[in-house]
Amino acid sequence: MKKLSILLLPIVIVAGFIVISWYQKLLSPTTGEDEVKHPLISKQKSRDKMARTGKPQRIVSLAPNITEILFALGLDKEIVAVSSDSDYPAGAANKKKVGTFWQPNTEAVIVSKPDLVITLWFEQQNQVAESLKRLDYPVLTLKIEKIEELLTAIQQIGVATGSKQRAEQLAKDISTQLNELQSKFGSAYKVKVLWVVQPEPLRVAGRNTFVNKLIELAGGENAVGQTIQQYPPIGTEEILTCGAEIIIQSAMGTAGTSEQQKAAEKFWSKFAALPAVKNNRIYVVQPDTVLRLGPRLCQGIELIANCLHPGENR
Amino acid sequence: MTETLTSKKLAITFFFCLLALVVVMALCAVVGTQKISLAKALSGPADTPGENIDYEILMGVRLPRVILAALVGGALACCGVVLQAILRNPLADPYILGISSGAGLGAIIAVLSGLTWRFWGGSPIAVFAFVGALITVWLVWGIGHLAGAGKSQVTTLLLAGVVVNAFFAAVIMFLTSIAKSDQIHSTIFWLMGNITEKNRSVLLVSAACIIAGIIALFSICHRLNVLTFGQDQAKALGVDTAVTQITAFGLAAFITAIAVSLSGLIGFVGLIVPHAVRLVFGPDHRRLLPVSAIIGGAFLVVADTIARTIVAPAQLPVGVITAIAGGPFFLILLAKYSRKVSWLK
């Protein structure tokens, strides 16, 4: 039957393609993972790369906190390109930019001829990392969402960049500083803090966030209780009853901090019953050190602590 | 259009459209944020990675991306044609029966659950989106079938699609509101539609499925033509409308689900390309379907090239470009040709 053959044709084609792709998969060298290597790049080359043990000379960083770690490890010269949101330290501004943290540009990464690309673990970066791996570029993918993960990540970067000792020192310094801060603020009175992510519509940092962890380390307590959202939008009723003694608002955009401070004070003046508003303890801070899990972590905690315990630090 | 469509005419049109697609793809592969020398790129791979970067960019980054864009564009445009025909509704697009929200829900569940495995080089997002899309389509078809017996079936199907879409969209919003900020970003980029490089096995398998699906749809073009007259007349002309509808619908849903799992929700291609082609070439599905598939592919290739170059070194989601570029272009076509042909012949 003619009709039947037309209907069968697609199935035959699909089967054919699948067989071809399986066949290719069997032929091409795999690294034991589920990915297919670029078939046009020979096995020899992968072996060469494995044998090449020295320090990477051309590193590309795809996230601002990775850039900070690399600079902190003194790899200033080795970094060839960074993501365009890497704005600290000042040296990062002179590096070539390869697209944003959220949308890295694979072509730009390749053109900078990297011998090590460091990415963070999430969907958009994973896609770029896969493309690069397929072309045999060495990629280091890190998951940095907690403080412990940051310390591990620093050491991993140290191993990959041949600066193991410096990395261990940096990780050690950070954990010592953390311990010091903890013993300094651990016993203090727990100040109730409301961390405002954006004022309109009002969203605050919940308990299950990194900011919350820093607030606790700085000797505070989140004024908002357990919520299912990470950054819950909260209503007027909750604000009035949360009893926040301090309100910290992260600065946004390019407007000056003092202007934003004024705007924040005006915004909060309608909640006059709140202790924070009554005692005029509203702070607008630059959130980079707080929201970016990097080597400036302890500065972030101190920044919060300065708001929480004014006068005690100085 | 009173002229008759011979197979010779069809073959000529088909050939020239295919030629145009290949030219467009070749041009777009050469254009990019980084200047590459074609001679060097074609000289083959170097011995160490990083030596012949022109080749690596062309073969490893741009070509897979251009091919993927052509596939997805073709799939979406083709499904748009079919759904507009079986639903007899000019507003129908591949997403009208709930595929977008079903796939979106699958994607956000994959992002939230933080799965790390990879399936044949595809991420969990792609797999979940594919499954979500198929389940939703099955749900919508089931509801439409149960509720609407007889003549009103098309209307019921549309209503079921709209309601399921709305419901899933609400669930998506709920899940987004409890997600972490980086997870939200991942999801939003996905919902806007994004073309990225895929590995060869994913490309091959999806290419096979999409091309096979389009060929299968082409084989029922005659019946789609008859179906646009209305169910009663189609039945009177000896076409089994129920079988035609479910075949066309099933194939279209399958192709769309693949396209969506590859690239997220790219809007507009499936709506305007079929209309544009219909305005220029007339409503005969034997011509409309293949030409739409090819033009849709070319359109998305161009849109993706713009998306990856216009804000270099950053990139835009391709869905933004298809909507911004597609809208005005379509209006111009509409103004120019609408006097010549009506929507349904």
Q: Quick: pLDDT tens for A237-295.
A: 888 888 888 899 888 776 677 888 888 888 888 888 888 888 888 888 888 788 888 88
What is the tally of structural domains in chain B?
A: 1
Q: Give the nearest chain B residue to A101 (CA atoms).
A: B314
CA distances to A58, A135, B57, B206 from A107, rounded to whole Å, are 16, 12, 6, 24
Say whether pLDDT at A33 is over 50: no
CA distance A158 to chain B (A): 23
Query: Cβ separation of B204 and A48 shorter than 8 Å?
Result: no
Q: What CATH number has the domain bearing residue B302?
A: 1.10.3470.10
With residue A18 as reference, give the H or E element that holds it: helix A2-27
CATH no. for A43-177: 3.40.50.1980
With residue A284 as reference, give the H or E element that holds it: strand A282-285
Average pLDDT over residues A90-105: 85
* B253: three-class secondary structure by DSSP: helix
> Is residue B26 one of the residues assigned to a domain?
no
Mean pLDDT of chain A: 79
Task: Write out residues 314-333 of B within 8 Å (CB-CB) of A.
Answer: 314-316
Helix, strand, coil abundance in chain B, percent, nearest 5: 75, 0, 25
Edge-to-edge strand list for the sheet holding A79-82:
A96-97, A79-82, A59-61, A116-120, A139-142
Query: Cβ separation of A14 and B208 shorter than 8 Å?
Result: yes
Task: Write out residues 145-204 of B within 8 Å (CB-CB) of A.
Answer: 177-183, 185-186, 189-190, 196-197, 199-201, 204
CA distance A151 to chain B (A): 21
Say whether pLDDT at A197 is over 60: yes
Tokens at A27, concatenated: 């032929």
More confidently predicted of A234 and A53: A234
Query: Cβ separation of B45 and A36 shorter than 8 Å?
Result: no
Pairing between β-strand A96-97 and β-strand A116-120 as defined by DSSP bridges: unpaired
Mean pLDDT of chain B: 83
Q: Best of B56, B198, B217, B304 to disrupt the A interface by mutation (most A CBs within 10 Å)?
A: B56
Number of helices (H) and strands (E), helices first, in chain A? 13, 10
More confidently predicted of B142 and A117: A117
CA distance B334 to chain A (A): 35
> Is residue B60 one of the residues assigned to a domain?
no
Q: How many CB atoms are closer than 10 A to CB A60? A: 31
Nearest to B221 by CA among B320, B326, B87, B85: B85
Amino acid at A73: L
Q: What is the dihedral of CA A184, A189, A192, A197, to 10 degrees?
A: -10
What is the number of residues in chain A? 314
% of chain A exceeding 90 in pLDDT:
15
Homologous superfamily assigned to A186-308: Nitrogenase molybdenum iron protein domain (3.40.50.1980)
**Model confidence band, residue A34 (pLDDT cutoffs 50, 70, 90):** very low
Tell me how many degrees the CA angle A174-A180-A184 measures, rounded to the nearest 5.
145
Tokens at B247, concatenated: 């075949």
CA distance A290 to chain B (A): 15
On chain A, the residues whose CB falls within 8 A of the CB of B316 are 103
Query: Cβ separation of A135 and B49 shorter than 8 Å?
Result: yes
Query: Cβ separation of A123 and B32 shorter than 8 Å?
Result: no
CA distance linking residue B18 with residue B26, whole number of Å: 12
**Model confidence band, residue A229 (pLDDT cutoffs 50, 70, 90):** confident
Instruction: Name which of A98, A102, A126 is nearest B313 (Cβ-Cβ).
Output: A98
CA distance B124 to chain A (A): 10
pTM flag (> 0.80): no
Average pLDDT over residues A136-147: 88
Classify burial at A121, counting beta carbons within 10 Å of its beta carbon; exposed 0-12, middle 13-18, buried 19 or more: middle
DSSP string computed for B209-228: HHHHHHHHHHHTHHHHHHHT
CA distance A132 to chain B (A): 9
Q: Is residue B240 less than 8 Å (CB to CB) from chain A? A: no
Nearest to A128 by CA among B58, B197, B62, B33: B197
Amino acid at B12: I
Instruction: Name which of A18, A124, A131 is nearest B60 (Cβ-Cβ).
Output: A131
Average pLDDT over residues A136-145: 88
Query: Cβ separation of B208 and A16 shorter than 8 Å?
Result: yes
Q: Give the nearest chain B residue to A85 (CA atoms).
A: B314
Query: Cβ separation of B213 and A135 shorter than 8 Å?
Result: no
> pLDDT tens string for chain B (345 positions)?
446 777 888 889 889 999 999 999 999 988 887 777 777 777 777 666 667 778 888 888 889 899 999 999 999 999 999 998 888 888 888 888 888 889 889 888 888 887 666 665 567 788 888 899 889 988 888 887 777 665 567 788 888 888 898 999 899 888 887 777 667 777 887 888 888 877 788 888 889 999 999 999 999 888 888 888 877 788 888 778 788 888 888 899 899 998 988 888 888 889 889 988 988 888 888 889 999 999 999 999 999 999 888 887 777 888 888 888 888 877 887 787 766 555 444
Q: What is the pLDDT of residue B208?
A: 92
Q: What is the pLDDT of residue B340?
A: 56
CA distance B307 to chain A (A): 11
> Is residue B294 one of the residues assigned to a domain?
yes
> Is residue B84 one of the residues assigned to a domain?
yes
Q: Give the nearest chain B residue to A291 (CA atoms).
A: B181
Containing structural domain, residue B137: 69-337
CATH 3.40.50.1980 positions along chain A are: 43-177, 186-308
**Model confidence band, residue A28 (pLDDT cutoffs 50, 70, 90):** very low
Query: Cβ separation of A35 and B118 shorter than 8 Å?
Result: yes
Task: Write out residues 13-42 of B within 8 Å (CB-CB) of A.
Answer: 32-34
CB-defined contacts A:B, below 8 A:
152
More confidently predicted of A58 and B229: A58
Query: Cβ separation of A131 and B197 shorter than 8 Å?
Result: yes
Pairing between β-strand A191-198 and β-strand A203-204 as defined by DSSP bridges: antiparallel
**Model confidence band, residue A1 (pLDDT cutoffs 50, 70, 90):** very low
Looking at the DSSP bridge assignments, the partners of residue A193 are A222, A246
Q: What is the dihedral of CA B250, B210, B32, B25, to 10 degrees?
A: -120
Lowest mean pLDDT among A296-300, A302-306, B119-123, B335-339: B119-123
Number of helices (H) and strands (E), helices first, in chain B? 15, 0
> Is residue B7 one of the residues assigned to a domain?
no
> Is residue B27 one of the residues assigned to a domain?
no
Looking at the DSSP bridge assignments, the partners of residue A196 are A204, A249
Query: Cβ separation of A9 and B119 shorter than 8 Å?
Result: no
Q: Is residue B43 less than 8 Å (CB to CB) from chain A? A: no
Instruction: Name which of A48, A126, A135 is nearest B56 (Cβ-Cβ).
Output: A135
Q: Is residue B62 less than 8 Å (CB to CB) from chain A? A: yes
Tokens at A200, concatenated: 């309109």
Q: What is the pLDDT of residue B292?
A: 94
> Is residue B324 one of the residues assigned to a domain?
yes
> Is residue B15 one of the residues assigned to a domain?
no
